[in-house]
Amino acid sequence: MLRASRKWPVPINVAVTTAAVVATCLFQLPIERHVPGEPFLLFILVVIASTLAFGASVGFLATGLSTILSMLFFEPIGSFAVWRATDLIKIELYAVFASCAVFAFARLAKMVIASRDATDSLKRLNESRSVLLRELAHGVANNFAAVAAFMSARSNAISDAQARSVLDEAVEQIRMMGRVHARLRVAGDHHVSLGSQDFFESLCDELKASLARGRQISIECEADDLPLSAHQAISLGLIVNELVMNAVKHAFPDGRKGRIRVGFEVVPDQLQLYVEDDGVGLAPRQQRNGGLGQDLVNGLSRELGGRLEVKTSEKGSSFHLRIPYTSSTIR
């Protein structure tokens, strides 16, 4: 508002201010004849308003004009002659006070405008940074996709089945990291995050398409919608990726039908991730020795500050990971 009025042409500023001072005088003069008083209160309000709207020069114009017109309110009323010395002193004191008010409010207006300009500049900068962060996240996602495509092409040339299997698992993990970065969004405070519900549901759909293709295995997902940081999403995504991959490979031998459930929810003071299946359970050797996949899951769990619980029987296996949750955990 202040910046807009400052851009008006000077003649309009002068005309508006002059009209306001004269209108104030004409409004007060009839009242003065019946209820004698001093006109300075309304005049000073007009001076302040003119200074804020149009600047110090117009404020001094309003001061001078109102000082002259205030003479009409002293004996003899309606004349520019002033009979009493005390009335002349009042008018002079008003002129001094109004001039000081012009200086003060002109400075205040400059501070307000400067503060607003700084706020707008910061807002534009923040918007620019948000765009850059989004572009960076998508650029990283594209890089992951390119690396995964390259490794996938190279794995086709490997004759050793075990080596190709390990490389294919690495490709899936790289693709998962790419999916995380592709879904990153920028919060108002420039923290990058993504929604847990969309992330886990999309991850499960893609795992079903890539791992359970041609198998009678359903992969279901149920997740609360919470903002996850990039670090949390990557770690949790890798854990889900590894556990689901192992379940598809080992829990349903000989084409057995089955179901894998993935869940993410808030429990009191904690976040819980679980992966459950109704397969044949872990073999005793797998429970004792684990393997690279289980070492990866345990390492990521510790990195998140969580605790992984594993239960298995002939009716299936369940993996429950709980990590601390406070209002500042996810940002």
Mean pLDDT by 10 residues, the chain (331 residues): 73 92 89 71 92 90 93 84 88 94 91 84 70 63 76 77 77 75 56 79 85 82 88 87 88 89 90 92 62 76 89 90 69 45
In this structure, the dihedral spanned by the alpha carbons of residues 234, 235, 236 and 238, taken in order and rounded to 10 degrees, is: 80
Q: If residue 128 lies in a helix (H) or strand (E), which one and from where to where? A: helix 85-155
Say what the pLDDT of residue 131 is: 62
Say what the pLDDT of residue 183 is: 66
Roughly how many angstroms between the first and final C-alpha of the chain, as a whole number? 36
In this structure, the dihedral spanned by the alpha carbons of residues 272, 275, 281 and 287, taken in order and rounded to 10 degrees, is: -60
pTM of the model: 0.54
Q: Determine the Cα–Cα distance for residues 70 and 119; give it in Å rounded to an integer.
A: 41
Distance, C-alpha 76 to centroid of its chain: 66
Asked if 17 and 50 touch (Cβ cutoff 8 Å), the reply is: yes
Say what the pLDDT of residue 123 is: 78
- What are the boundaries of each domain within the chain? 2-123, 158-324
CATH superfamily of 158-324: Histidine kinase-like ATPase, C-terminal domain (3.30.565.10)
**39 preceded by cis ω (within 30°)?**
no
Q: Determine the Cα–Cα distance for residues 282 and 290; give it in Å rounded to an integer.
A: 10
Say what the pLDDT of residue 290 is: 52
Say what the pLDDT of residue 38 is: 75
